């Protein structure tokens, strides 16, 4: 298990390197002069020329990449001209709220997705299975930006139970309770589709396991059905579900862009949308790099979780 | 469900395509004095938006744009992705490695993020947004195409085409692509809804369609700004997106089931906790008594062409402490019969359609689930064929024995644990503490089956059913495990029902034997008598081809042919197609099981003449 863990971690390094190349190349996609695009249409030619030199735009791409990577590794992601502050500072400020939102959404989606999948599988083809299947289908098909709107209209505007948006700091005036009140609608919105996908996967994985011989053995021993489902089937299905949770982390991190925008959640997602609107490309680069790195790490973690759940993985 | 999907998508597509042809208002016609009119306003069935434009017309217009963009993006992603996948699979080695590493890197991005980065660089706009979404989906198609193509490129005809000197491009397009195409269609169908959703999402954020152009996403985005005052604007666009994507997903699921049944979620279904019992009538208990009294047991399976019996009209009795063998080839129905006793035969596709299983005054086929469960593993216990698959791979074997044990009144965890360890020692495993902590894969085949025996004898059952318990083991281990099982069953006074294809093994263990063929009992009698003078030609052949324990070098007669599949059992003596002695009468009608000497039965028209011969 330990060697496996080390190997898996080592495999993450080239992927991260690849991610950095892709993020770097984004700027090469910019039509025309990136420096002009970054500074906007009112920039003076001198400033454009200065930034051009700073970014090394006159040099060949590989050389620029190495320079850029060196900067990234030493914590220099460039400067956001619109915000007039280093990209790293802005990204770090925004990362916390996104992490809170994504973690809450992921936890909700695992809780509801896995339980729905298990409940559907053990009642396969019964009315409960059909009802859950329909709910999951609607969940998969609902645009999160539409769901966000519906929830705000119903629970905030009509019923007034939750705030329509924003976030209060954990150590702010409202404390934890206020944070949770602000977190409720965004995290539910973000969790919905991920939970639906997880539910479908869980159901399929459970049915796969329930067909196996050892389930029959458990029943032949007279083990009760709750235990057959939870201890025998789910524990075996868990190894198949863990990587799906990793994928859902990606979905949640991406979907945060919509949810943060609708609920004015001060995270990286909203920052990205605003930055794209301002053509603040360096800030976009920094935000994308941060989230992608986080996602790579989450996937390594779920792979390790999968290995830990299966005693047959030794090496 | 697929039809519902087809209907939804059909109606929406038709409406979107027909809209420009109908005499409707111009979707971009603004009317500043008629802003945010509610639904139901004359001339505006769905009301107007913040610029006074008709919502219905605009939604239809946006639907057309969204559909077009979705189809285009899906096609682009599918084309680029499958090209990459095919090339990677076809050239293999270095090309494959390099392309797949690149794909891995793209997959390392959270889905939407890559699209955002691309839009950031190219600038907002509907085409750019669709392009970005397409790029983000390329890895998915590349992987799917590569996986399917890998199977194809190893086939002979691809090699043949290569040897014939066809160009790589021609082989890829002519031989490989057609084989991969169904999977790509499934992948497209499953993805298009998602792509429409994501493109609409970018428009919603203001990064896709730019005014005056509008798709459903940007309409939702506009509607959001006036959502409190006029929720109908956003709702109209949102509901249409939702319906469209639900329809597309239903259609995608249906298409997947159709073109690639292996992927069908829960294909075949998982077995229910107990075999379904669907009997028209219940035969009365026999007066023979016995511990287990099986009458007319018939278990059928649903197949593609109807329901067919795998076990037909099986009757036998088992006395306390007796060892009864059930012999037959695979496909003879012996295992299904054995599993049916405790209703462990899988439903679906199986069901017990006739008969009764009398056990200590109860009909087991009549019991509710809880009393049946109480009996399982307690009074009637099973040892299964393959100890590797029949033990839970992620649970320590000690825990698996522990959960089989029924606590005695007042017995606590410590008591149960002590009994579990004693059982492990009793089945001949050394260092029971350590063995209890092992996972199944850490034990040898023989050790695993000893654990299987330990679980089965844990509660001193009255009946121990062993279904080919040693078939998966090597010869020496077989003998040891058999001896152990026989001895432990005897010590505990359990009657043994031993199912095997091997007459030799049964002879060593059982007092009485039943021979099954094509779901029926064809011969029954004391083992020694049947071995000495088999009545049924099939039994004679089985005996001739059985290895005898301790005589491994005896020349074996091969058993030619196979039993008929359950949906093709002749309405005649089922063995007649393989029987050397078959005559006209054998093929005319089914043959009855009749008494054939002291304590014996046989299902053969000619058993008397053949016995004399
Ligand atoms: S009934 Fe006829 S065909 Fe059938 S086993 Fe006897 S001799 Fe053979």
Mean pLDDT of chain A: 83
B349 near A CB under 8 A? no
* CA atoms of B440 and B388, how far apart (whole Å): 7
Determine the Cα angle at B274 with ends B271 and B276, to 5°.
90
Poorest-confidence range of A147-151, A309-313, B70-74, B572-576?
Answer: A309-313
pLDDT at A109: 92
A131 C-beta neighbours (distance < 10 Å), count: 13
* CA atoms of A150 and A255, how far apart (whole Å): 16
Closest CA to B335 of B350, B323, B322: B350
- Tokens at residue A310, please? 């299966």
CB B465 within 8 A of CB B380: yes
Mean pLDDT of chain B: 81
Residue A252 has pLDDT above 60, yes or no: yes
pLDDT at B287: 61
Question: Which residues between 254 and 283 in chain A have a beta carbon less than 8 angstroms from any beta carbon of chain B?
Answer: 254-255, 257-258, 261-262, 272-273, 275-277, 279, 281
Residue B154 in 3-state DSSP?
Answer: coil
Question: Which residues between 86 and 115 in chain B have a beta carbon less than 8 angstroms from any beta carbon of chain A?
Answer: 101-102, 104-106, 108-114
Residues B487-507 as b/e (b if ≥16 CB within 10 A, e otherwise) read ebbeeeebbbbbbbbbbbbbb
Residue B15 in 3-state DSSP?
Answer: helix
CB A113 within 8 A of CB A196: yes
Residue B358 in 3-state DSSP?
Answer: strand
pLDDT at B152: 75
Poorest-confidence range of B50-59, B80-89, B275-284?
Answer: B50-59
Upstream peptide bond of B348 is cis (omega within 30 degrees of 0)? yes
Nearest CB among B112, B116, B382 relative to A220 is that of: B382
Region(s) of chain A under CATH 1.10.3720.10: 88-314
| CA B513–ligand 1 middle distance (angstroms) | 20
B266 near A CB under 8 A? yes
Nearest CB among B112, B344, B376 relative to A255 is that of: B112
CB A112 within 8 A of CB A199: yes
User: What pLDDT digit, counting tens, does each position of B199-225 carry?
Assistant: 888 888 888 777 777 787 777 777 777
Residue A169 binned pLDDT confidence (cut-offs 50, 70, 90): low
* CA atoms of B263 and B462, how far apart (whole Å): 43
Question: Checking DSSP bridges between strand B463-467 and strand B380-383, what pairing results, if any?
Answer: parallel
Q: Span A6-22, mean pLDDT?
A: 85
Please report how many Cα atoms fall inside a 13 Å half-sphere around the Cα of residue B155, on the Cβ side: 13
Residue A114 binned pLDDT confidence (cut-offs 50, 70, 90): very high
pLDDT at B128: 86
Instruction: Please indicate whether, in this complex, the C-beta atoms of A143 and B374 are within 8 angstroms of each other.
Output: no
- Tokens at residue A222, please? 């007279």
pLDDT at B40: 63
pLDDT at A108: 93
What angle, rounded to 10 degrees, do the helices at B216-225 and B231-259 form?
150
pLDDT at A315: 44
Contacts of A38 in chain B (CB under 8 A): none
CB B303 within 8 A of CB B567: yes
pLDDT at B268: 55
| CA B163–ligand 1 middle distance (angstroms) | 55
| CA B308–ligand 1 middle distance (angstroms) | 22
Instruction: Please indicate whether, in this complex, the C-beta atoms of A236 and B392 are within 8 angstroms of each other.
Output: yes
Poorest-confidence range of A277-281, B113-117, B272-276, B547-551?
Answer: B547-551
pLDDT at B42: 66
| CA B577–ligand 1 middle distance (angstroms) | 9
Nearest CB among A200, A257, A284 relative to B205 is that of: A257
pLDDT above 70 covers a percentage of chain B that reads: 88
Top pLDDT among A111 and B431 is at: A111
Residue A280 has pLDDT above 90, yes or no: no
pLDDT at B139: 87
Instruction: Please indicate whether, in this complex, the C-beta atoms of A22 and B106 are within 8 angstroms of each other.
Output: yes
Question: Which residues between 419 and 458 in chain B have a beta carbon less than 8 angstroms from any beta carbon of chain A?
Answer: 439, 441, 452, 455
Residue A112 binned pLDDT confidence (cut-offs 50, 70, 90): very high
Instruction: Please indicate whether, in this complex, the C-beta atoms of A218 and B386 are within 8 angstroms of each other.
Output: no
CATH topology classification for A88-314: MetI-like fold (1.10.3720)
Closest CA to B63 of B131, B10, B11, B13: B13
Residue B552 in 3-state DSSP?
Answer: coil
Nearest CB among A143, A236, A299 relative to B197 is that of: A143
* CA atoms of B428 and B454, how far apart (whole Å): 10
pLDDT at A107: 92
pLDDT at B430: 83
Give the chain A residue nearest B242 (alpha carbons): A142
For A244, B11, B54, B347, B481, the CA distances from B15, given in Å and listed in that order, are: 37, 6, 16, 45, 71
* B552 φ, ψ (degrees, to nearest 5): -65, -15
- Tokens at residue B318, please? 């088992």
Top pLDDT among B235 and A210 is at: A210
Instruction: Please indicate whether, in this complex, the C-beta atoms of B224 and A22 are within 8 angstroms of each other.
Output: no
Neighbouring-strand partners of residue B301: B308, B350
* CA atoms of B188 and B136, how far apart (whole Å): 14
| Strand residue runs (E) in chain A | 79-80, 85-86
The dihedral of CA A12, A17, A21, A26: what is its sign?
positive
Atom of ligand 1 nearest to the CA of B586: 2
CB A90 within 8 A of CB A271: yes
Residue B265 has pLDDT above 50, yes or no: no
User: What pLDDT digit, counting tens, does each position of A66-107 carry?
Assistant: 888 888 888 887 878 777 788 888 888 888 888 989 999 999
| CA B576–ligand 1 middle distance (angstroms) | 5
Determine the Cα angle at B79 with ends B253 and B81, to 5°.
80
Residue B266 binned pLDDT confidence (cut-offs 50, 70, 90): very low
Residue B285 binned pLDDT confidence (cut-offs 50, 70, 90): low
pLDDT at A110: 92
B558 near A CB under 8 A? no
* CA atoms of B417 and B402, how far apart (whole Å): 7
Question: CB under 6 Å to ligand 1: residues?
Answer: B 536-537, 573, 575-576, 579, 581-582, 586, 591, 604-606
Question: Which residues between 142 and 161 in chain A have a beta carbon less than 8 angstroms from any beta carbon of chain B?
Answer: 142-146, 149-150, 152-153, 157
Residue A167 binned pLDDT confidence (cut-offs 50, 70, 90): low
A203 near B CB under 8 A? yes
* CA atoms of B37 and B34, how far apart (whole Å): 6
Q: What is the CA radius of gyration of chain A?
A: 23
* CA atoms of A191 and A252, how far apart (whole Å): 7
* CA atoms of A34 and B537, how far apart (whole Å): 89
* CA atoms of B577 and B582, how far apart (whole Å): 8
CB A120 within 8 A of CB A235: no
Q: In what order do the strands lie in the sheet with B495-500?
A: B380-383, B463-467, B495-500, B323-327, B512-517, B520-526, B601-602, B594-595
- Residue B570 CB burial class (10 angstroms; 0-12, 13-18, ≥19): middle
B276 near A CB under 8 A? no
**ipTM entry:** 0.83
User: What pLDDT digit, counting tens, does each position of B422-455 carry?
Assistant: 888 888 888 888 888 888 888 888 888 888 888 8
Q: Give the largest Cα separation in chain A, rounded.
A: 82
CB A256 within 8 A of CB A287: no
Place of tokens 């994928």: A247
Neighbouring-strand partners of residue B292: B318, B359
User: What pLDDT digit, counting tens, does each position of B355-387 carry?
Assistant: 888 888 788 888 888 888 888 888 888 888 887
pLDDT above 90 covers a percentage of chain B that reads: 1
For the ranges A179-183, B560-564, B584-588, the maximum mean pLDDT occurs at B584-588
Residue B587 has pLDDT above 80, yes or no: yes
A291 near B CB under 8 A? yes
* CA atoms of B599 and B526, how far apart (whole Å): 7
The dihedral of CA B250, B255, B256, B262: what is its sign?
positive
| CA B545–ligand 1 middle distance (angstroms) | 19
Q: Is the pTM of this model over 0.90?
A: no
Q: Span B129-139, mean pLDDT?
A: 88
Atom of ligand 1 nearest to the CA of B522: 5
Q: Span B153-164, mean pLDDT?
A: 72
B133 near A CB under 8 A? no
Please report how many Cα atoms fall inside a 13 Å half-sphere around the Cα of residue B81, on the Cβ side: 33
Top pLDDT among A291 and A280 is at: A291
Listed in sequence order, the residues at least 6 apart from B308 whose beta carbon sits closer than 8 Å to its beta carbon are B300, B301, B566, B567, B569
Residue B546 has pLDDT above 70, yes or no: no
DSSP B451-473: HHHHHHHTT--SEEEEESTTTTS
Atom of ligand 1 nearest to the CA of B538: 5
């Amino acid at each position: 298990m330990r060697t496996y863990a080390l190997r898996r971690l080592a495999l993450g390094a080239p992927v991260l390197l690849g991610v950095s190349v892709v993020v770097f190349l984004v700027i090469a996609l910019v039509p025309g002069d990136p420096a002009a695009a970054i500074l906007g249409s009112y920039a003076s030619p001198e400033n454009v020329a200065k930034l051009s030199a700073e970014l090394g735009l006159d040099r060949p791409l590989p050389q620029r990449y190495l320079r850029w990577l060196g900067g990234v590794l030493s914590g220099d992601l460039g400067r956001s001209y619109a915000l007039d502050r280093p990209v790293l500072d802005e990204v770090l400020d925004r990362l916390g709220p996104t992490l809170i939102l994504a973690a809450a959404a992921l936890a909700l989606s695992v809780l509801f997705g896995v339980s729905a999948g298990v409940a559907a599988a053990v009642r396969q083809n019964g009315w409960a299975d059909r009802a859950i299947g329909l709910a999951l289908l609607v969940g998969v098909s609902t645009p999160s930006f539409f769901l966000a709107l519906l929830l705000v209209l119903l629970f905030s505007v009509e019923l007034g139970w939750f705030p329509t948006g924003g976030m209060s700091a954990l150590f702010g005036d409202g404390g934890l309770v206020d944070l949770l009140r602000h977190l409720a609608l965004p995290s539910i919105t973000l969790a919905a589709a991920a939970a639906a996908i997880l539910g479908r996967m869980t159901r399929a994985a459970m049915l796969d396991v329930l067909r196996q011989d050892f389930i029959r053995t458990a029943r032949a021993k007279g083990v009760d059905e709750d235990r057959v489902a939870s201890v025998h089937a789910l524990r075996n299905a868990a190894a198949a579900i863990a990587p799906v949770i990793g994928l859902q982390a990606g979905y949640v991190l991406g979907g945060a862009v919509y949810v943060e925008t609708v609920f004015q959640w001060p995270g990286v997602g909203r920052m990205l949308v605003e930055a794209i609107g301002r053509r603040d490309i360096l800030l976009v680069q920094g935000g994308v790099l941060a989230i992608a790195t986080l996602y790579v790490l989450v996937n390594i973690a779920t792979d390790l979780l999968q290995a830990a759940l299966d005693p047959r993985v030794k090496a | 469900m697929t039809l519902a999907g087809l209907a939804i998508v059909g109606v929406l597509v038709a409406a979107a395509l027909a809209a420009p042809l109908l005499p409707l208002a111009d979707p971009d016609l603004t009317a500043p004095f008629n802003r945010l009119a509610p639904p139901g306003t004359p001339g505006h069935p769905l009301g107007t938006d913040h610029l006074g434009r008709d919502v219905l017309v605009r939604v239809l217009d946006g639907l057309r744009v969204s559909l077009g963009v979705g189809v285009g993006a899906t096609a682009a992603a599918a084309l680029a992705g499958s090209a990459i996948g095919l090339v990677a699979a076809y050239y293999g080695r270095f090309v494959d490695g390099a392309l797949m590493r690149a794909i891995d890197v793209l997959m390392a991005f959270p889905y939407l993020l890559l699209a955002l980065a691309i839009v950031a660089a190219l600038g907002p706009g509907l085409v750019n947004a669709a392009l970005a979404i397409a790029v983000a989906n390329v890895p998915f198609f590349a992987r799917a195409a590569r996986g399917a193509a890998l199977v194809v490129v190893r086939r002979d005809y691809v090699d043949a085409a290569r040897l014939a000197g066809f160009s790589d491009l021609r082989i890829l397009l002519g031989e490989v692509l057609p084989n991969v195409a169904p999977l790509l269609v499934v992948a497209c169908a499953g993805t298009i809804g998602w792509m429409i959703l994501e493109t609409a999402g970018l428009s919603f954020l203001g990064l896709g369609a730019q005014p005056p152009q509008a798709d459903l996403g940007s309409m939702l985005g506009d509607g959001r700004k006036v959502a409190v005052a006029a929720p109908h604007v956003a709702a109209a666009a949102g509901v249409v997106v939702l319906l469209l994507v639900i329809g597309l997903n239903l259609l995608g699921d249906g298409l997947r089931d159709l073109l690639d049944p292996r992927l069908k979620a829960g294909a075949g279904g998982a077995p229910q906790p107990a075999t379904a019992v669907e009997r028209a009538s219940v035969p009365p208990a026999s007066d023979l008594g016995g511990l287990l009294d099986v009458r007319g047991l018939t278990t059928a399976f649903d197949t593609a062409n109807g329901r067919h019996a795998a076990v037909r009209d099986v009757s036998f009795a088992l006395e306390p402490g007796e060892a009864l063998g059930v012999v037959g080839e695979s496909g003879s129905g012996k295992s299904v019969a054995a599993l049916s006793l405790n209703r462990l035969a899988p439903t679906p596709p199986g069901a017990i359609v006739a008969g009764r299983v009398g056990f200590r005054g109860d009909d087991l086929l009549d019991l509710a689930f809880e009393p049946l469960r109480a009996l399982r593993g307690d009074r009637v216990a099973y040892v299964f064929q393959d100890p590797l698959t029949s033990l839970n791979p992620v649970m320590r074997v000690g825990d698996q024995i522990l959960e089989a044990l029924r606590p005695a009144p007042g017995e606590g965890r410590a008591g149960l644990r002590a009994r579990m360890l004693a059982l492990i020692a009793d089945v001949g495993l050394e260092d029971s503490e350590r063995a209890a902590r092992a996972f199944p894969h850490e034990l040898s085949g023989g050790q695993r089956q000893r654990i299987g025996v330990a679980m089965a004898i844990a509660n001193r059952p009255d009946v121990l059913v062993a279904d080919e318990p040693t078939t998966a083991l090597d010869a020496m281990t077989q003998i040891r495990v058999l001896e152990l099982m026989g001895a432990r069953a005897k010590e505990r006074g359990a009657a043994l029902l031993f199912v095997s294809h091997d007459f030799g093994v049964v002879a060593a263990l059982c007092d009485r034997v039943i021979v099954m063929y094509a779901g029926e009992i064809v011969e029954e009698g004391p083992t020694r008598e049947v071995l000495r003078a088999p009545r049924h030609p099939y039994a004679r052949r089985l005996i001739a081809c059985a290895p005898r324990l301790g005589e491994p070098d005896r020349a074996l007669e091969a058993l030619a042919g196979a039993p008929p599949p359950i949906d093709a059992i002749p309405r005649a003596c089922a063995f007649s197609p393989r029987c050397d002695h078959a005559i006209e009468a054998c093929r005319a009608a089914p043959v009855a099981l009749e008494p054939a000497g002291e304590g014996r039965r046989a299902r053969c028209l000619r058993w008397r003449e053949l016995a004399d011969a």
